[in-house]
Chains A and B, each alone.
Chain A
């Protein structure tokens, strides 16, 4: 089970990286297209879809590595006694909201397919196809969150994601 779950997060992560390259490829294609004088239809929209797929599919792996940013100031300073209840609360609330996100993401893709929702840009993509990546990513995130929640209940301690180990963005 453990190995299977980790493989799922990794697979989603690699798929996200693939779409990241996709963003680059789409933007470069439109640059090259403009220089060479042909217009690649919808490459702007495809770059957007690739970006959305990359962000959603990587959610679980980023969570698992403790790289989603959170305010750890109080979590760390209360230390000992309050830390565990706070962590439990965070994972419970996280599971709840991730479940909502996963459910409605899946519903969005399903509705787009049921109502034949087509992109308004000149790519005319049926929107359910790119939205499938959003639904899949949100679902894997939910699985990862539940996974962490269960680990936390069983073992009482997760990986130590301290503030200074978080990757900095600015």
Chain B
């Protein structure tokens, strides 16, 4: 009987989500109905207390600040500067300027918490520039789609904050754990680009005019602002002088100073970034509030415990458990965005993960990688939406050209499974 009702609640949740009801409201609603059916506790009061507690918690304050930092940087000339600084160094590498997408996204990911923002910021410079020089559009779009997802994995990362808060894992450790896998993935993307270019040399246009070493060094001065910002945000976390929240506050100030120096900051831009960040954060907060209440309701109903027992009884090895979770998340990613996916499932799946003896920091990185894959699978994938808006191409075309990069991400998932040190090595060396 219990199993039937929990099943019915899950069906109800997906029906509400599918009907187009706002995700935050769907989560609140299902939790409310579930608690009314299952418990005699005062449901409305529990809801208000839970929502208040989740949205006023100190650990979460890093999130609105990183969102704001991203909104400021998006409105600067940072992407233009990075292109100018990177391009001269890449003319000898097979694939040439295609690598500006990958390296540009990697650098920008280190100051931005979101993959859509990374993709949009780098793409608004590289897409027109590469097109003008005659680079093949499919490879330009594919490398951008793939590398844009690094915004999730390379810290700071909004989705890691969300995971850290819902799974009660140190956000600082998650951030540091994401660095090496992020660089690994960027390396895989670059390797693929090099291999592709060696097979299709005729499709890569000739290099720009030759520059001497001194000229190249001079052009690199444009990279200073972003490198400085990375050092400020990640450096202060890694050395241990700042918490994730404090680093985020420093990042906002740094981004404001940077844009002021560039001359792209004024009262109008400031207000735009502030209002944009407030609404963007509000949208995330609404989902988090709904998910917090749903987690509470699910706990009363006992769903997470029963699921853990059920999966425990199946006797799956961790490898198969993770494999099925990966499939589950990629399928779920066809309908939901990453943050909703994480908050929706964490309350239910966490006991299973703990019971299987999987390290929660490692699982966080696994989850982020899988969500990254979901970002470029149709029909719902935010990077696809961003690229569709920028290139005016069909979403299915973008997804098709990005498929090799999707497979590389799957390869990265198996690499961190067989060599968990990729994830755990750096955090273990932290102060």
**A residues neighboring B (CB under 8 Å):** 13, 16-17, 20-21, 23-24, 27-28, 30-31, 44-45, 47-49, 51-52, 54-56, 58-59, 61-63, 65, 67-75, 86-87, 89-90, 93-94, 97-98, 100-101, 103-105, 107-108, 111, 130-131, 134, 163-164, 166-170
Contacts and interface: CB of A to CB of B under 8 A. Distances in A.
B340 A97 contact: no
Interface of B: 16-25, 28-29, 32, 44-45, 47-49, 51-52, 55-58, 60-61, 64-65, 68, 114-117, 120, 151-152, 158-159, 242, 245-246, 248-250, 252-253, 271, 274-287, 289, 335-340, 371, 375, 379-380, 382-383, 385-386, 388-389
B389 to A, nearest CB: 6
Given A55-B55, A59-B286, A98 B48 contact: no
A131 B372 CA distance: 36
Contacts of B289: 55
B277 A20 contact: yes
B375 A170 contact: yes
B116 A170 contact: yes
A70 B22 contact: yes
A165 to B, nearest CB: 9
A62 B22 CA distance: 12
Contacts of B29: 93, 97
B61 A20 contact: no
Nearest to A28: B249
Contact of B25 (A17, A23, A93, A164): A93
A111 B14 CA distance: 34
B282 A16 contact: yes
Contacts, number: 211
B110 to A, nearest CB: 16
Contacts of A104: 44-45, 47-48
Contact of B20 (A28, A75, A131): A75
A52 B158 CA distance: 17
Given A51-B64, A93-B29, A107 B48 contact: yes
Contacts of B242: 31
